[in-house]
Amino acid sequence: MERFYQEELTCLHIIAHRGASAYAPENTFAAFEKAVELGADFIELDIQITKDGKLAVIHDDKVDRTTNGTGFVREYTMNELEQLDAGSWFGPEYQGEKIPSLEAVLRKYHNKTGLLIEIKSSKTQPGIEKAAGQLISRYGRSMNTIVQSFDAGAMRAFHHMYPSIQTAVLIRPRFGLLPRGRLRQIASFAQYVSLKATMISRLKSWKIDGIITDYPDYF
């Protein structure tokens, strides 16, 4: 990530992608605890809105890939999601691992490690920005919390609603190009941009403040 903090940094921050997802089922407490154990500075996680307006920590908009259930996250209540097995797909030792709620994650980690929270498509999940901002604000910012999305419009709206919470925009530069005008536009409402690792060789002169990785121990 570019400009991961506003102040000058002396080290590279390691962000565990969906937790230490190479070692435990992604977006579960097992993966988050492993990330903390391996010394990650931040935990990256994804959120989807549920049928009852709660925020579930899961990457896909459907539960099929990472649980024993089927269907869209938005068709489940948070309580129903918590009944699914979100660990067996990764390995039998993780049988019974649950989909966490964002509230449960904030309660456990907001005072323990940094959190990089990715909002999935706001176009199919109206109200998700407001719900996330309200929840994060309730727990305060005793440790660094950043909200990011591929949806720049969602991050612009989020910034206007919650200007004290830092934001990032995930971008896929076209043809490997990153126009300065685009960066200036993003800078008007976000503190950071996130790029794929394949872009790093083009950005050697930039100050890279963090790396998002499935293997936090590699760094």
The model's pLDDT over 176-206, given as tens digits with 9 standing for 90+, comes to: 667 788 889 999 999 999 887 666 556 556 6
Q: What pLDDT sits at residue 142?
A: 54
Quote the CA–CA distance of 180 and 3 in Å, as a whole number: 15
**Marked catalytic residue, from 13, 17, 110, 159:** 17
Strand 42-49 to strand 114-119: parallel, antiparallel, or no bridges (unpaired)?
parallel
Query: Quick check: 214 and 22 in contact, CB under 8 A?
Result: yes
**Coil, helix or strand at residue 103:** helix
Q: ∠ CA 92-97-103 to the nearest 5 degrees?
A: 165
- Position 123 confidence tier, pLDDT thresholds 50, 70, 90: confident
Query: Quick check: 210 and 15 in contact, CB under 8 A?
Result: yes
pLDDT at 8 over 60: no
Q: What pLDDT sits at residue 103?
A: 97
What residues form DSSP beta bridges with 182? Answer: none
Both structure tokens of 1: 């990530």
Reported as a single tens digit per residue, the pLDDT across 18-54 is 999 999 999 999 999 999 999 999 999 999 999 999 9
Closest CA to 58 of 101, 14, 91: 101
Quote the CA–CA distance of 15 and 143 in Å, as a whole number: 14
Clarify whether 159 is annotated catalytic. Answer: no
- 3-state secondary structure labels for all residues of 26-73: CCCHHHHHHHHHCCCCEEEEEEEECCCCCEEECCCCECCCCCCCCCEH
Element (DSSP H or E) covering residue 192: strand 192-194
Closest CA to 94 of 16, 25, 18, 22: 25
- Position 140 confidence tier, pLDDT thresholds 50, 70, 90: confident
What residues form DSSP beta bridges with 57? Answer: 47
